Structure 1
């Protein structure tokens, strides 16, 4: 994922939150950031379960976008 693709992803995420807020698990920035921390701790399990072999010691734009998206539904 390029930087520009990541920027478009962030804009899409923002619009999704505005339009579908009721579907998001974390509706405040505090809850979202807390979920982001917990999701990041366990993201290796997500990648293992989806058969994705990624080096989580070298985070790129794709991994960061996965964290942001996953945090929207992670409790």
Structure 2
């Protein structure tokens, strides 16, 4: 499965939910392919990537997103801690 292709297709809530489901299934099936196998390392990797994401976009000749809703993303990550 090419996740980069799937990421490009995510434009709606339903597509985002489908992507999360695929990511979860991939972890269960291909855990040996995952660099970050614990929630701690996974979150640290996300933090590191966000810190240097401008370089990723510049190296990929893609525009750096300028309409990111950081508050909404923070909410998503927080509710993963408390939601049943």
In the superposition, the TM-score normalised over structure 1's length comes to: 0.71
Residues in 2 aligned to 1:54 and 1:42: alpha-carbon distance in whole angstroms: 11
Q: Is 1:52–2:62 an aligned residue pair?
A: yes
Alignment of 1:1-75 (within 5 A): 1-56=11-66, 58-59=67-68
In the superposition, the TM-score normalised over structure 2's length comes to: 0.64
Aligned length, in residue pairs: 60
Offset at 1:55? 2.5
Offset at 1:47? 1.1
Unaligned runs of 5+ in 1: 65-75
Highest RCO, 1 vs 2 (Cα 8 Å, sep ≥ 6): 1
RMSD between aligned residues: 1.6
2:58, 2:64 within 8 Å by CA — same for their partners in 1? no
1:3-27 Cα distance to aligned partner (Å, 9 max, x none): 1111111000001101100010000
